[in-house]
A and B are shown apart, each in its own frame.
Chain A
């Protein structure tokens, strides 16, 4: 199928007030117990458990992988997380630790988090991660070039990385906190999707603000419009700043009401987070035992 590339300089403009109001309305839904528990388990299953620190060691990554497979063994019947997200140098460690658990290994690449490097370096970074066994690649766009209006450069770069990914799914991080306006978020989303992204992702988690509900809404709407135009589904990953179970449920409500049930699984939606898992586990344990929980009784990740 041939997809016609639109003129990105005329991406739809975003009504800031409207988007923010609509996003805040998703937080007002009342979820009753059974729905809440199912929602929490679904959210757990959508997490990309992440560690992206300069100080990451093999031990830390192995520990994170153990956590990914054994979220809280006291609670039987829990799902695992969707993936573990690490730096390229830790991919082989994670791959080995996760074994045949079915949990994917995602690797950031392309001079994460700034993306300020030569294309050749970015491609090699990507290929290295793939060769180590990464199932998914999280790339960053060149925000500097984007702000300079060099959309073709950004487009070509994403397309080149996508080619280097082969079968691995590509997540394109827009780093919305550096884009400055919803209009630009929409434009960057369009560029990424037309260039071949499998996922669009809000943030690296390295700068604030990271994911917010309005920004995610803008991106979900871009995905919806892209789907109507091309028939191709794109997945979404808000990342950074989502650490509370309640907020995760708000995101799921938004996902369901914007893109519908087809997107309500971890193939089409992920949370990039690390502390979210424990908060969800605490809520699930609260529902099961009736007693407010303490972080002291949950494993660190």
Chain B
């Protein structure tokens, strides 16, 4: 075997829209580099039209995904974790290419898998924790339940390649939302490979869409697209936060802003992250007073 002369087949890093792996419609790319500034891959420089297409896919997938049983969503998240476990080595290698030490890379992948399992378990439990039967003074049975917001456009934490993306994406979809994620601009490789994991794990196409590209270019569209119900941002950049808040007001999008979070610690996983992407619906249901009793709730 003349392995010495063999030319390695390099991977094309494409984006993930509606369960497909297209290149950006703009045909543009940018170069991802490691800490030393050496090129490690060509990556799609997504345009606003890619974002528009991704939102279209997410909207199309929302009815089916939010309508699934919570238990089934949990099963699918578990399946994603299984698939990620099976491709651990590839992720560790990619993280090291992007500047992690071996130990840190291993820890990041393990934590990502565990986090998927963690939220998989929460899928059919957060509703019980955050829903409520409310005391009211009239003859009504009054209760509040959670409903997903809809399509969430999230800019993944920029400092990490995998764990940040997983930490934001998982609670969003655990709660029945669909999403468009923008990967870390400087460390985009794991996001694309993670899309391959998603694509082989029973997750319907369109529930998660992943773009790579420039945050500064796409951020305004993440905030002003009328068919997006919530926008999530995780950086400490006051100017960007201001843009998002202003543009989001156009259709009263919910803005979920995580400041100074350390995504590679246990503190950044809790059912409250699911709750952040839920609406509360309160229902007043008239009841009869039985046997002379007062409203009991």
Contact = CB atoms under 8 A, between A and B. Distances in A.
A292 B227 contact: yes
B136 interface: no
A17 interface: no
A280 to B, nearest CB: 16
A294 B221 CA distance: 13
A292 B137 CA distance: 45
Interface string B157-199: 0000000000000000000000000000000000000000000
Interface string A85-97: 0000000000000
A294 to B, nearest CB: 3
Nearest to A291: B224
Interface residues of A, number: 7
A203 B48 CA distance: 36
A296 B227 contact: yes
A294 B52 contact: no
Interface in A261-301: 291-297
What DSSP secondary structure best describes chain A's contact surface?
loop
A292 B250 contact: no
B226 interface: yes
B131 interface: no
B55 interface: yes
Nearest to A295: B227
Interface of B: 52, 55, 221, 224-227, 250-251
16 contacts: A291-B224, A291-B225, A291-B250, A292-B52, A292-B55, A292-B224, A292-B225, A292-B226, A292-B227, A293-B226, A294-B225, A294-B226, A294-B227, A295-B227, A296-B226, A296-B227
Interface of A: 291-297
Given A292-B225, A294-B251, A296-B227, 15 more contacts: A291-B224, A291-B226, A292-B52, A292-B55, A292-B221, A292-B224, A292-B226, A292-B227, A293-B227, A294-B225, A294-B226, A295-B227, A296-B226, A297-B226, A297-B251
